[in-house]
Chains A and B, each alone.
Chain A
Amino acid sequence: ETGVTQSPTHLIKTRGQQVTLRCSSQSGHNTVSWYQQALGQGPQFIFQYYREEENGRGNFPPRFSGLQFPNYSSELNVNALELDDSALYLCASSLGQMGVDTQYFGPGTRLTVL
């Protein structure tokens, strides 16, 4: 069984640029959630995708957007990057989107915005 994978592991961008982060969910999982973890903070929920539809969104502006593909892999896109977007971005997958469905996390993508 393959766990959650994310790419790239590290990324450096400049303010105003756009970035795409990728996530492959664990085998058999149809739900993907994205989290932002700033230095010294716990992860914060960005949004969730369930069977290719957005299924909940946290307090993030519209320049944070996502996609889920038929194979349940997912992308997180961030436009007009700001310095405060520098963080670790975590992807988590689960068997479903119910409370009983445990989320399994990937290793994260470290984004630095200069």
Chain B
Amino acid sequence: AQRVTQPEKLLSVFKGAPVELKCNYSYSGSPELFWYVQYSRQRLQLLLRHISRESIKGFTADLNKGETSFHLKKPFAQEEDSAMYYCALSRLTGGGNKLTFGTGTQLKVEL
């Protein structure tokens, strides 16, 4: 069975402070990991995914297979980063790309 754990429901940081949103997963096969973000009154949208190895809006995430983690990081938080963040997992190979989501972390960036 595949599972994604986001231990923090709420993370509050000051503007300019570093941000780390934690994500741990369990999956027996080859996983593909994602971070989705939902800004207030907007739809769920892809922030970044491991296979692309991109940095989006200053966010990065490294897949650590030994620790089964895919933590999301940003060196300097901005007010516009306040949103709900979901970590998700799908299989990388084979058919079917269903996503398994964590319960989400609400990031609040304070001035």
Residues of A whose CB lies within 8 Å of any CB of B are: 31, 33, 35, 40-45, 48, 50, 55-56, 58, 90, 92, 94, 96-108
Nearest CB in chain B: distance from A94 CB, A: 6
Q: A99-B92, A102-B49 are in contact. Are A33 and B99 (CB under 8 A)?
A: yes
Q: What residues of chain B lie closer than 8 Å to A45, measured between beta carbons?
A: 98-100
What are 29 contact pairs spanning A and B, CB under 8 A? A31-B97, A33-B98, A35-B99, A35-B101, A41-B103, A43-B44, A43-B99, A43-B101, A48-B98, A56-B96, A90-B44, A94-B97, A96-B97, A97-B97, A98-B94, A98-B95, A98-B97, A99-B32, A99-B90, A99-B91, A99-B93, A100-B92, A100-B97, A103-B97, A104-B45, A104-B46, A106-B43, A107-B43, A108-B43
Bound-complex Cα distance A103 to B94 (A): 16
The total of chain B residues at the interface (CB under 8 A) is 26
Contacts A43-B101, A103-B99, A107-B43 known; 15 new A-B pairs at CB < 8 A: A41-B104, A42-B102, A42-B104, A43-B86, A45-B98, A48-B96, A48-B97, A56-B96, A94-B97, A97-B95, A99-B90, A99-B97, A100-B32, A104-B46, A106-B43
Q: What residues of chain A lie closer than 8 Å to B86, measured between beta carbons?
A: 42-43
Nearest CB in chain B: distance from A89 CB, A: 12
Q: What residues of chain A lie closer than 8 Å to B51, measured between beta carbons?
A: 100
Bound-complex Cα distance A90 to B88 (A): 15
